[in-house]
Chain A
Amino acid sequence: MLNIGLSLLLAILLLSGCVKYQEAITTPEESSVKPIVQSPARIQEPVTNKPTDSNAESPGRQSTEDSMAVEGGEEERGSAMDSRSHSQGFDTEKRRDEIEINELNLDELVERLKKTDAIGILTKLTIRSDVLDFKDIVDSYRERGQLEKHLAELKERFNGLLLKILALLERDPSLSKDIYLARESIWKSFVEAKS
């Protein structure tokens, strides 16, 4: 009786595990950051459309291409334009993605950092102390009018702090990724003069 009960429990647990796994596979778009995952496929697009690549890869097609020399020239021009438009489209999409990433709400990131279970409360307070110390340094340089002079040094320090936080967020890769993508916005929020 006990054996049957345990095996039933095991079967239910295994089934629920399978269902969750399937959900995770079928709904990848739910992840908060999409652009970086999609970009490698897009990067390859213009390369495959290049006319020089198609010539190099298929010597068997040479004779047919020779017989269609007149049309070929136009086709090449067309494909070159295609690749250019593809790359332009890629550039604009990439720029749009970057803007979206830069516009990630910093307050939202802070809230997520506060709520994450990946690090403990003491570690969060330590990070907060480090960030406040960094902010104090930036403010003191600004007050003395030496911010521009020490910008490189501050950026190095900022990168170290960011690296530390990203390493600590090993158990929350989604938040870690979002913070990494928003690094320039975070940096600007420190350095830009407040009115």
Chain B
Amino acid sequence: MKIILMFISLIVMPMSVNAVTLKEDVATTIMLRGYPCGGSSVTQVREKSDASGNRVITATCPNGLRYRINVSSNGRVTVRQID
């Protein structure tokens, strides 16, 4: 029974591998802007949007550093480290 379930999980697993999660996306963005992150995924992701359409995402990298990612209404992305 366990063996069958293992087989099924092995078959089903690759289907979900391709999708990029928000946590991976945030980590990639931080690293693309030249900041150290220490891994390919972040934790404690919080997202806020204001009335003018700007998005602010805060997240913690595996190395313990916290970052704020600003996405302006015209699509410009900036990353800043939070002290």
Query: Which residues of A are at the interface with B, using a C-beta cutoff of 8 A?
Result: 3, 6-7, 9-10, 13-14, 17, 117-123, 125-130, 132, 164, 168, 171
Query: Which residues of B are at the interface with A, using a C-beta cutoff of 8 A?
Result: 1, 4-5, 7-8, 11, 18-22, 24-26, 28-29, 32-33, 57, 69, 71, 75-77
Q: Measured between alpha carbons, how far is A132 from B78 in the docked complex, in Å?
A: 13
Give the residue of B1, B25, B75 whose beta carbon is less than 8 angstroms from that of A120: B25
The answer to whether B71 and A125 touch across the interface, beta carbons within 8 angstroms, is: yes
Complex contacts, A132 vs chain B, CB 8 Å: 76
The answer to whether A120 and B22 touch across the interface, beta carbons within 8 angstroms, is: yes
The answer to whether B28 and A168 touch across the interface, beta carbons within 8 angstroms, is: yes
The answer to whether B71 and A122 touch across the interface, beta carbons within 8 angstroms, is: yes
A-side interface mostly: helix
Complex contacts, A171 vs chain B, CB 8 Å: 18
Q: Measured between alpha carbons, how far is A120 from B18 in the docked complex, in Å?
A: 11
The answer to whether B69 and A128 touch across the interface, beta carbons within 8 angstroms, is: no
A6-B1, A120-B24 given; 13 more Cβ-contact pairs under 8 Å: A10-B4, A10-B8, A117-B19, A120-B29, A122-B69, A122-B71, A123-B29, A125-B71, A125-B77, A126-B32, A127-B32, A129-B75, A130-B32
